[in-house]
Amino acid sequence: MNARQFAARFQKLVKQGQFLKAGKISSGARPQIPADAPNVLIFSPHPDDECITGGLALRLLREARWSVVNVGVTLGSKRARQAVRRRELQNACAALGFELIVPGAHGLEHINSDTRAKKPSHWQAARKTIAGILAEQMPRVIFLPHENDVHPTHTGVHWLVLDALKTLPRRFTSYVVETEFWGQMADPNLLVEIGEKDLADLIAALCFHAGEVKRNSYHARLPAWMLDNVRRGAELAGGHGARAPHFTFATIYRLNKWRGGKLQRVSRGGKFISAAQNAAGIFR
C-alpha cells in the first residue's frame, strides 16, 4: 500500500462512518458492581461529552467494576431540544453502563464564566446543587473539563465543580481528572490507551446523540482524534523526546487530587496506561 492508498482508505472510512447507527442497549452493559465499589462522577457539560471523553471512566467500570455516574450538568441551551437530548443521553448512558444524574427537569442553565462573574445568586444555586451531588456520591474520582477547554459551558463546568468542592469539608478528598475536547491542555500528565472494543462502544453510544452528530459528524472522527492524542500525549505526558507508546487510540487527561480544600498535583512525571493494565491502579 502506498501513501495515496493509505489516505484514500482513511477518507472512505470517515465518509462511511457518517452513517453509523446507534448501538444496542443491553442489560449486560453495566456489570455487577460490588456494594463497596468506589464511585466515579463524570461532570459532562453537554449530552455527548460522556462518550467523547469517557474512555477512562468506561475502563474503570469494565476493568475494576467501579460505579460510574454521569452528571449531565446541562441539556444544552436550546429549550426546544432539551427533552430530546435528555432521552438521547439516557440511551447513551444505558448503552455504556453508566448511571445518570440530571439536576432538575432541564439540567442547569447559563453555566459559564460570565454567569459566575455577574450573576452570583444564580451561580450560588448551581454550586449548591453540584456540592450536594458530590456530598451524596462521595466519589473516588471526578472527571471535569480543564479550565481552557474553549467552549463557554465547558469552562463554566470546570469552575462550577471547583467552586462546589471548595464548599465541602476540608477532609473531603477525591482524584480529579481533567478532560479536553475543544481546547488542548498544555500540561497533561496522563495518556490512557482506549482499546478497539471500548472505542467502538463509545462511538455506538455517541450515535444516540442523533441531532448533534447529524449537525457535526464528530462520531466518525472520534478515532482520528484518539489517533492524534497518541502523537501529542507521547510528547506532553511522556516528556519531550519520549518514545511514543505502541497505542493506536488514546485519550489525554490531567490527573490531580483534591485534598485539604485545594487541587494538588499527584506527580510531576507523566504516565502511559496501556489497555493491558487495570486502569484503577492509577488511583490507588
Share in percent of the chain as helix, strand, coil (round to 5): 45, 15, 40
Q: How many CB atoms lie within 10 A of CB 28?
A: 7
Q: Determine the average pLDDT of the residues in 230-254.
A: 91
Q: Determine the average pLDDT of the residues in 225-235.
A: 95
List, for residues 177-212, the tens digit of each pLDDT value.
Answer: 999 999 999 999 999 999 999 999 999 999 999 989
Q: Which residues, at least 6 apart from 26, have a Cβ–Cβ distance to it below 8 Å?
A: 95
pLDDT band of 112, cuts 50, 70, 90? very high
pTM: 0.95
* Residue 97: per-residue pLDDT: 96
| Average per-residue pLDDT for the chain | 94
C-alpha 116 chain-centroid distance? 22
Q: Is the pLDDT of residue 66 over 80?
A: yes
**Distance of alpha carbon 240 from alpha carbon 249, whole angstroms:** 20
Q: Is the pLDDT of residue 266 over 90?
A: no
Contact (Cβ atoms closer than 8 angstroms) between residue 17 and residue 219: yes
* Structural domains in the chain plus CATH codes: 36-283 (3.40.50.10320)
C-alpha 280 chain-centroid distance? 16
Q: What are phi and psi of 252, to 5 degrees?
A: -95, 135
Contact (Cβ atoms closer than 8 angstroms) between residue 45 and residue 146: no
pLDDT band of 175, cuts 50, 70, 90? very high
- The angle at the Cα of 102, spanning 96 to 104, to the nearest 5 degrees, equals 165
